[in-house]
Amino acid sequence: MNGFMRFSPTRRALLRDGILTVLAIGVAGRISAQPAVPAQPLRIGIIGSGHIGSTVGTLWVKAGHPVMFSSRHPEELASLAHDLGPLAKTGSVAEALAFGDVVLIAVPYRAYPEIGRDNAAALKDKVVLDAGNAVPARDGEIATEARDRGIGETSAKYLVGARIVRAFNTLGYRVLQDNANRLGERMAIPIAGDDAAALARASDLVTAAGFDPVVVGPLTRAREFAQGAPLYGLQVSAAELRHRIETMK
């Protein structure tokens, strides 16, 4: 008698249903090769398509959103876009800003003043998901400013008029790759911003990327999950993250 036959008919049926359910989740979720079709595809511009920008942008393409990847050298992003298929394209920073209903900024933080200056008109009222961390060794003086002023306030100072939501800054890109759409409780992504509609849109996009958004509060509270702060780097569920936020009060 083989192993399967040792189960009673009822247990066999339960086992079969369980296997089918797992397969169905897999097909609908993380192991699907086909992009999903979101109810409302959002056009997303990525400013800075290195480790974090390409990772999160890829998750959005897989969720069915059209994404334009940009950097100062968009020609270097051609193979990334090619591999992702027709929903992905490349362009300059200005083109990505014009393309995106929403943009993700994922560049070294020292580049913020230049990007803000060069794209002032396009940034006005744009929903910007801000994944940058200010790192003294890499970013210099502006990292001191971000520490003293607050990272959210500093982003707002340089990306004038943008509807900023801090998001996707707390976890390394490999953690994001490995845990997107994971089975069981999803991993939480803390977010913070002042604009309710922008927060709602960012929440939808965190969900689309395969994580659970947790709104920590207004932009001033982004310092609570800035690099080195208590909520930074936590690989926890939304329930656990909310508990940590509560116990910090």
Ligand X SMILES: NC(=O)c1ccc[n+]([C@@H]2O[C@H](COP(=O)([O-])OP(=O)(O)OC[C@H]3O[C@@H](n4cnc5c(N)ncnc54)[C@H](OP(=O)(O)O)[C@@H]3O)[C@@H](O)[C@H]2O)c1
Contacts with ligand X, residue ranges (CB under 6 A) = 47-53, 71-73, 76, 93, 106-109, 111, 114-115, 131-133, 135, 169, 172-173
The C-alpha R_g of the chain, in whole angstroms, comes to 20
Shortest Cβ 20–ligand X spacing (Å): 36
Closest CB 243 distance from ligand X, rounded Å: 23
Residue among 131 and 215 whose Cβ is closer to ligand X: 131
- Minimum distance of ligand X from residue 107's CB (angstroms): 4
Burial 117-127 (b: 16+ CB within 10 A, else e): eebeebbeebb
Minimum gap (Å) between residue 244 Cβ and ligand X: 19
Please tell me whether residue 21 adopts helix, strand or coil conformation. helix
Among residues 80 and 238, whose Cβ is nearest to ligand X? Answer: 80
Nearer to ligand X, 38 or 110 (CB): 110
CB of 144 to ligand X, least distance (A): 15
Q: Which residues contact 204 (CB under 8 A, 6 or more apart)?
A: 42
Residue 14 CA to residue 223 CA, distance in Å, equals: 48
Question: What residues have CB less than 8 Å from 80, skipping those under 6 apart?
Answer: 49, 54, 58, 69, 88, 90
Contacts of 9 (CB under 8 A, 6+ apart): none
Between 135 and 234, whose beta carbon lies closer to ligand X?
135
Q: How far is the CB of 3 from ligand X (least distance, A)?
A: 43
The helix (H) or strand (E) run that includes residue 231 is none
Residues 48 and 69: their CA atoms lie apart, in Å, by 7
Q: Which is nearer to ligand X, 62 or 158 (CB)?
A: 158
Residue among 148 and 246 whose Cβ is closer to ligand X: 148
Nearer CB in complex with ligand X: 175/238: 175
Tell me which residue has tokens 């996009």. 205
Q: Could you tell me the smallest distance in angstroms from the CB atom of residue 241 to ligand X?
A: 16
- In DSSP notation, 124-169 reads TT-EEEE-----HHHHTHHHHHHHHH-HHHHHHHHSTT-EEEE-S-
